[in-house]
């Protein structure tokens, strides 16, 4: 935490680099109300935010968030994490997710101070090291980048990695190639061995009754279901990987942003929620189930 003063009031505020899914508190010791203004040059959709943070629950479009807080027991506290999260555009056309420089202005009785934070799309856990020395596997037949932090999140080619990142090349071609964002905001890639495929169908909609007549009689109870959906899953495995790679692969379970490379396109997929067990062995298998997009096969 950083510290400072505004109009004679002490303030504690986040460090220069923060993770938007960790608590990011601003605490001001004051007997006056405090106004916080949060903005980002590239935040929201084209720099404009959709927000329902005001108490009227109306959607407001503007290039910043403004939050006015009354004092309680001679202090004002605000967790800006939700505002930092809103500065990110997570969509198919927005490109790869990078860090954001977020501007924060704090005003007390007409006197202001401003500071910036570099926000990362992720969260740190207790005891973790950020951007630690590591080994990455470059599957040379597929698209690949290495994420590093150099004053901001950057996605670089294997030839541009710093010395603390070791790149090992792998020329394998067959399998399921996945990409995801781990909890530190880094893109990870792996070519999994493909296992069995499953397809599950479900009914949806209403049951449509029909007036059915045979050659002699009419019959009750004849019907059709309105529609069917099908969902495909693929078993995927990484065989006998090192403990370092196993821990990296574990991060796929905490990511809602998983893509599968198909026909030179990244297709959004899901990973079945499951319990992954680390046996502690140096070499062990890592298995997941990939959930493909649901298809409405036919609808009446």
- Tell me what pLDDT residue 219 has: 72
Which parts of the chain fold into alpha helices (H)?
81-86, 243-250
Residues 221-264 pLDDT 10s? 777 877 887 888 899 999 999 999 999 999 999 998 999 999 99
Average pLDDT over residues 65-73: 90
**28 Cβ partners below 8 Å, 6+ apart?**
6, 9, 10, 11, 34, 75, 76, 77, 106, 108
DSSP SS3 for 256 = coil
Q: Which domains does the chain have, with CATH numbers?
A: 2-120 (2.60.40.10), 134-299 (no CATH)
Average pLDDT, the chain: 86
181 closest CA partner among 261, 244, 101, 98: 98
Query: Which token pair is 185?
Result: 């905001």
Q: Is the pLDDT of residue 64 over 90?
A: no
Nearest CA to 49 out of 40, 57, 61 is that of 61
- The kind and range of the H/E element at 272 are none
180: nearest Cα among 101, 122, 240, 110: 122
Average pLDDT over every residue of 293-300: 71
Q: For 233, what's the count of Cα atoms within 13 Å in the CB-facing half-sphere?
A: 12
Query: What number is the average pLDDT over the span 36-56?
Result: 61
Q: Is the pLDDT of residue 39 over 70?
A: yes
pLDDT digits (tens, 9 = 90+) for 152-199: 999 999 999 999 999 999 999 999 999 999 999 999 999 999 988 888
What does pTM read for this prediction?
Answer: 0.82
Give 61 or 244, the one with higher predicted confidence: 244
């Amino acid at each position: 935490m950083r510290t400072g003063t505004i109009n004679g009031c002490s303030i504690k505020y986040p460090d220069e680099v923060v993770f938007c899914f960790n608590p990011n508190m601003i605490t001001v010791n004051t007997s006056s109300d405090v106004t916080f203004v949060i903005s980002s040059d590239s935040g929201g959709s084209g720099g404009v935010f959709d927000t329902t943070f005001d108490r009227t629950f109306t959607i407001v479009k503007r290039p910043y968030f403004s939050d006015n807080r009354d004092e309680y027991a001679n202090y004002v506290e605000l967790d800006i994490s939700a505002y930092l999260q809103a500065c990110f555009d997570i969509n198919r056309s927005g490109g790869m997710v990078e860090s954001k420089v977020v501007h924060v202005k704090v005003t007390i009785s007409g006197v202001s101070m401003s500071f910036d934070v570099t926000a990362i799309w992720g969260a740190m856990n207790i005891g973790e090291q950020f951007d630690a020395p590591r080994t990455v596997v470059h599957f040379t037949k597929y698209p690949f980048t290495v994420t590093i932090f150099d004053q901001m999140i950057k996605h670089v080619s294997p030839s541009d990695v710093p010395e603390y990142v070791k790149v090992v090349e792998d020329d394998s071609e067959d399998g399921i190639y996945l990409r995801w964002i781990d909890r530190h905001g880094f893109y990870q890639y792996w070519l999994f061995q493909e296992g069995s495929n499953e397809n599950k169908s479900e009914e949806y909609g209403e049951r449509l009754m029909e007036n059915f007549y045979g050659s002699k009689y009419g019959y009750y109870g004849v019907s059709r279901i309105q529609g069917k959906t099908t969902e495909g899953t693929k078993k995927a495995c990484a065989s006998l990987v090192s403990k370092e790679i196993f821990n990296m692969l574990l991060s796929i379970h905490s990511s809602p942003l998983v893509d599968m490379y198909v026909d030179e396109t990244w297709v959004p997929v899901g990973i079945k929620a499951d319990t992954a067990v680390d046996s502690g062995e140096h070499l062990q298998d890592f298995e997941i189930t990939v959930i493909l997009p649901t298809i409405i096969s036919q609808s009446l």
